[in-house]
Chain A
Amino acid sequence: MSEPLLDVRDLRTEFKTDDGIVKAVDGVSFKVEPGQVLGIVGESGSGKSVTCLTVMGLNDSKFATSTGEVLFRGEDLLKASSSRLRTIRGDEIAMIFQDPMTSLNPVHKIGRQLAEAVVLHNDVSNKQAYARALELLKAVGIPRAERRIDDYPHQFSGGMRQRVMIAMALINNPDLIIADEPTTALDVTTQAQILALLKRIQDDFGSAVIMITHDLGVVAETADDVIVMYAARIVERGPVRSIFNEPRHPYTWGLMGSLPRLDTDLERLYQIPGQPPSLLNPPSGCRFHPRCAFAMPICRQQDPRLMAVGSDTLHEQACHLDEATKAREAAKLVAMFTAGASSS
């Protein structure tokens, strides 16, 4: 495919608050190809959700201003009218939210909520819409779907509600699904079910997925490409194997090291000192420098640009550290994990 499905260029989103202007997204660019799964990882407040809300045009225009370009099949969504956005949302781009309880309307039956999405975007009768709703409920593995279609959201368990959310997102065969922490509120077993379902559905429908999560395990298992965000910016990006096998940014190392994992035995976890910075007044230079173990004088003054790692043009990182040190540190980290895996 020559033209990407979604091409975000230099996206910047600012919110006006009582304390000043918060730059929640500060110069983020990325592309999503058809059928690709893009994982976006980062801590709370790193701007991953705002990036996606901006793509969907869901920020409150009273407080938020966005610049840059969000090209969906060549059309700039930032400039699109709200009625145009409404026809795209739920049809070509769909979103799965984190909390299935608050994202479903508690006073309407599941079937009606699903059918509404069909009727809004297609010229079909209510009956056909219901039939489509039922078909999707079956596709996402709701047992006894014929009966459950007339249930209210509170009659479903958390995992089942998330399945309904996925059914709703898929109902118009979207080309792009944005999943914002789709499994964070769920138990591991349910999470495994939902991830397997998303995978299967992605194979069947060929949709592209943007998977926002803070769980590196989920990213490792689902994503093709990964973006690591820190304080409103991208600090590292690349194919999933490059990110996990040759991480090049100290923040990525920190995230990986701080994760307790089944395949390694560490007495102490690596901890990134301090807190994520306030975006009202972000640190100068590299935004990670106050928490970085490798910070140099230049990090305080100069903002590192995203640059290719060696000859690998797909893998980019933004860090001033020299290539040799980064290769050594990354190798140390990865060796630690693989050593643990083989000994247990």
Chain B
Amino acid sequence: MSTAANGNELLVVEDLKKHFPITRGIVFQKEIATVKAVDGVSFSLREGETLGIVGESGCGKSTLVRCILKLLEPSGGRILFQGRDITGLSRRDMRPLRRNMMMVFQDPYASLNARKRVGFIIGEALELHGIGTPAERKRRVQELLEVVGLNPEHYNRFPHEFSGGQRQRIGVARALAVNPKLIFCDEPVSALDVSVQAQILNLLKDLQKEFGLTYVFIAHDLNVVRHISDRVMVMYLGKSVELADRGELYAHPKHPYTGALLSAVPVPNPDVGRARKLVVLEGDVPNPINPPSACNFHPRCPRFQQGRCDVDTPPLAPIADDHLVACHYPLERWPMSIAEQPAAVQPVESAG
């Protein structure tokens, strides 16, 4: 990969792997298979940008982020944060670095401790990192509540006194508490209503501008990812299949999987939505214990060529400036207008 750090990168991930063993037996455990949840993902992240990661459930998006944060121990590859290799760091050595990498979780109900007051939830990270006196911390928490658009007087309330959108704001305030450089957002808006979702997305954008934050934004909703991201990575079965600038990826997707994902998004316009032809992908994401050979996507791919796609693994290679794709037969063009139907892509018959 040509992602070698040139100094500006905040985060560089090289060939990251996370394999979970499946064992059998109680006393003598024998490894019978592995789930390759993340299988050789590389990308780099510039300061102040937002990288969106999309893919269906089970493609390894969340595992990838958990590995980068070292919540899970990676099985292989390297993670460089601000030029420093953090792959092998112990938990203790990792702790001071965690100030710089925070996370916003998906479920605003499950991710806040129901028995603690909001002030404690937001201020806990400050306390753990030994920042400020209790009075200063309280001031900081109130300031954070205000930054995320909540009433600072609500410092002493419990999470159940807030609505879903407000809870997600608390989650954002908690992530901001220690002035991190990088925030991982794992499906932060998928549990919210559209109107509340818009509020949180706008808030995240405003905060990014104000504090120069860098985001890694995971979502399965392509509209949301397009709205917030500068660059987008598409994952399928633990691998990155396409990585490009936002505009480039959505206007000229090259990987057939990206094309299928894009065409599956419902269009909130009855005149356009009903006229377009869908590239309906048949079947489900294959079982990661026994993934298809070579290109993982080949059994569902409309452009599958026998003897090539199921034999030869396509590398993630540049196809244009800042546009990487892992496909032997990338799409030549992508129709955006109704007039131009996806002639190159026909629905597959079926796949069991």
- Kindly state whether residue B9 has any CB partner on chain A within 8 Å: no
Measured CB to CB, the nearest residue on chain A to B189 is A260
Q: Are A196 and B266 in contact (CB under 8 A)?
A: no
Q: Which of A249-298 contact B (CB under 8 A)?
A: 254-263, 266-272, 275-276
The 0/1 profile, CB within 8 Å of B marked 1, for residues 192-232 of chain A is: 11011000000000000000001111111100000000000
* Distance from B227 Cβ to chain A, minimum over Cβ atoms (Å): 4
- Does B271 belong to the interface (CB within 8 Å)? yes
- Cα distance A267–B274 when bound, in Å? 27
Is A189 engaged at the interface, CB distance under 8 Å to the other chain?
Answer: yes
A344, B251: Cβ atoms under 8 Å?
yes
Q: When A187-B220, A188-B261 are in contact, do A220 and B266 touch as well, CB less than 8 Å?
A: yes
Give the residue of B194, B223, B228, B282 whose beta carbon is less than 8 angstroms from that of A43.
B194
Q: Is B280 engaged at the interface, CB distance under 8 Å to the other chain? A: yes
Q: Do A244 and B226 contact each other (CB < 8 Å), given the known contacts A44-B193, A187-B56?
A: no
- A268 near B205 (CB under 8 angstroms)? yes
Q: Contacts A214-B193, A258-B195, A260-B201; is A275 near B265 (CB within 8 Å)?
A: no
CB distance from A153 to the nearest CB of B (A): 15
Q: Report if A241-B271 is in contact (Cβ < 8 Å); known contacts: A43-B194, A189-B281, A217-B265.
A: yes
Residue in contact with A217 in the complex, picked from B195, B197, B201, B273, CB distance below 8 Å: B273
Contact A189 B266 (CB under 8 A): no
Measured between beta carbons, the chain A residues less than 8 angstroms from B293 are none
Query: Pick the contact of A341 from B221, B270, B272 — CB < 8 Å?
Result: B272
Contact B284 A190 (CB under 8 A): yes
Known: A43-B193, A143-B352, A260-B227. A187 touches B57 (CB 8 A): yes
In contact, A221 and B267 (Cβ under 8 angstroms): yes
Contact residues of A between 128 and 144, Cβ < 8 Å to B: 141, 143-144
Are A262's CB and B262's CB within 8 A? yes
Question: Chain B 250-262 against A: per-residue CB contact (8 Å), 1 yes, 0 no?
Answer: 1100000000111
Contact B266 A218 (CB under 8 A): yes
Whose C-beta in chain B lies nearest to the C-beta of A219? B268
Q: Is A254's CB under 8 angstroms from B267's CB?
A: no
Asked if B266 and A217 make an inter-chain contact with CB atoms under 8 angstroms apart, the answer reads yes
Mark each residue of chain B from 69 to 84: 1 if its CB lies under 8 Å from any CB of chain A, else 0: 0000000000000000
Contacts of A275 in B (CB 8 A): 163, 165-166, 196
A146 to chain B, nearest CB (A): 12
Determine whether the beta carbon of B264 is less than 8 Å from that of A272.
no
Number of interface residues of B (CB under 8 A): 50
Give the size range of A's interface with the partner.
35 or more
Q: Nearest Cβ distance between residue B253 and chain A, in whole angstroms?
A: 11
What's the minimum C-beta distance from B203 to chain A, rounded to whole angstroms? 9
- B265 x A262 contact (CB < 8 A): yes
Summed over the interface, the residue pairs from A and B with CB atoms below 8 Å come to a total of 141
Contact flag A192-B198 (CB < 8 Å), given A215-B266, A262-B223: no
Q: Is B111 an interface residue (CB 8 A)?
A: no
Given the interface contacts A221-B274, A259-B223, A260-B223, does A268 sit within 8 Å of B202 by beta carbon? yes
Are B284's CB and A196's CB within 8 A? no
Chain B residues within 8 Å of A191, by CB = 264, 266
Given contacts A157-B284, A189-B56, A192-B264, contact A272 B195 (CB under 8 A): yes
The residues of B that contact A244 with a CB separation of less than 8 Å are 268-271
CB distance from B184 to the nearest CB of A (A): 20
Closest-CB distance, A263 to chain B (whole angstroms):
7
C-alpha spacing A216/B261, complex, angstroms: 18
Q: Could you tell me the distance between the alpha carbons of A190 and B285 in the complex, rounded to whole angstroms?
A: 10
A160 within 8 A of partner (CB):
yes
Is A234 interfacial (CB-CB < 8 Å)? no
Closest to A338 in B: B269
Contacts of B197 in A (CB 8 A): 258
On chain B, the residues within 8 Å of A143 by CB distance are: 283, 350-352
Q: Given A217-B265, A221-B266, A262-B265: A269 and B350 within 8 A (CB)? A: no
Residues of A within 8 A of B351 (CB): 143
B174-196 vs A: 1/0 string, CB under 8 Å? 00000000000000000001111
In whole angstroms, how far apart are the Cα atoms of A322 and B324 in the complex? Answer: 52
Within the assembled complex, what's the spacing in Å between the Cα atoms of A170 and B315? Answer: 45
* B268 A216 Cβ-Cβ under 8 A: yes
Q: What is the distance, in angstroms, from B320's C-beta to the closest C-beta of chain A?
A: 18
How far is A261 from B266 in the complex, measured between Cα atoms in Å? Answer: 9
Known contacts A189-B56, A269-B201, A271-B198; A263 and B269 CB within 8 A of each other: yes
- List 20 A-B residue pairs with CB atoms under 8 Å apart, sorted by A's residue number: A44-B193, A143-B350, A143-B351, A192-B278, A193-B282, A195-B266, A214-B193, A215-B266, A219-B268, A220-B269, A220-B270, A244-B269, A245-B270, A258-B195, A260-B223, A262-B226, A262-B267, A269-B202, A271-B195, A271-B199
User: What are the 10 A-B residue pairs with the smallest beta carbon separation, nearest first?
Assistant: A217-B266, A258-B198, A260-B227, A192-B264, A269-B198, A260-B223, A216-B268, A143-B352, A187-B56, A188-B264
15 more contacts with CB within 8 A, not counting A192-B264, A217-B273, A221-B267, are A158-B57, A187-B57, A189-B280, A192-B263, A192-B278, A195-B266, A217-B267, A220-B266, A220-B267, A244-B271, A259-B223, A262-B222, A269-B201, A270-B198, A275-B166
